[in-house]
Amino acid sequence: MVNEKRGSGEKVRLVDIDESYDGQRLDNFLRAQLKGVPKTHIYRIIRKGEVRVNKGRIKPEYKLQSGDVVRIPPVRISESDDQLHIHQGFAHSLEMAILYEDDQLIVINKPSGLAVHGGSGLQFGLIEALRKIRPQQRMLELVHRLDRDTSGCVMVAKKRSMLKFLHEALRGDSVHKYYKALVVGRWPNRKRLVDASLQKNVLKSGERMVTVDADGKRSKTEFQVCAHYPGYTLVEAKPITGRTHQIRVHCRHAGFPILGDEKYGDEETNKEAKKQGFKRLFLHAERLEIPRPDGVAPLLITAPLAPELTSWLNRLRQL
């Protein structure tokens, strides 16, 4: 909980920090408090001493403690955020995509093509849209990320304590994620593990590319064959580590790229599938096993495949 008091100026805020924010970095706290304000501006007001903790100057990386009082100066919200308009139909579809919700957590079935957050030329992503359509919600933070073209389960925390708990659970491998992917070729039933280190690279264009590299970070994905189709295999992928583009690169490394993958896929197969009406990445975060802070049985959340994925599978069954 955050308790606010007005300072000497009409818009200066003095925020009392309680245990739910204990351990959070100051810069991240301010980004949540000052939604729409550019990061560069947030760092500037910290550097100039306009933001203070317990009446003293402070560094951005300072970790808040219960009992701290944070002074937040008046800051103008950026026009782009202020003018962000979410179409009513999109807002309704987003609410309908919620798979699970309680007082601490939301799990939503993100559609393909929607980024989890704005930036890189995007006015908004999933988290900005959720905040806009739920202005009464004090806090909404992404627990993890999902590629823009990947659909399926995304966790959003409604409380700081839940965010911290799930981040620790992710680091401790107690959150289990299961994906469905349609790969090109016949994946052997016996092939159950891809263990290949991954290196993240940034091209001159700014595009991120991930490659298999012995000097990269250790990366492991477990696979299980679900069904064979003419020219394709439906697999379940369980990432043991959580690297950028891990499943996509591991599939390509194994010799079975994911259908519709414009970055790591098979260009000719993708082109042919597009002619037949399939125009997205066939990668879906289908299932989550989420531990709970009270120690009771974990939550089991399943996101159904999107209609365009099931219709493509039905088409393949008829070949």
Active site members: 147
C-alpha span between 64 and 74 (Å, rounded)? 20
d(C-alpha 197, C-alpha 206), whole Å: 22
Collapsed DSSP state (helix, strand, coil) of residue 222:
strand
The closest of 34, 40, 106, 30 to 68, measured between CA atoms, is 30
Q: Where are the alpha helices (DSSP H) in the chain?
A: 26-33, 39-47, 79-82, 88-96, 126-133, 160-171, 246-254, 267-275, 307-317
Q: How many CA atoms lie less than 13 Å away from 168 in the CB half-sphere?
A: 10
Token pair of 8, please? 């000497």
Are the C-beta atoms of residues 225 and 233 closer than 8 Å to each other? yes
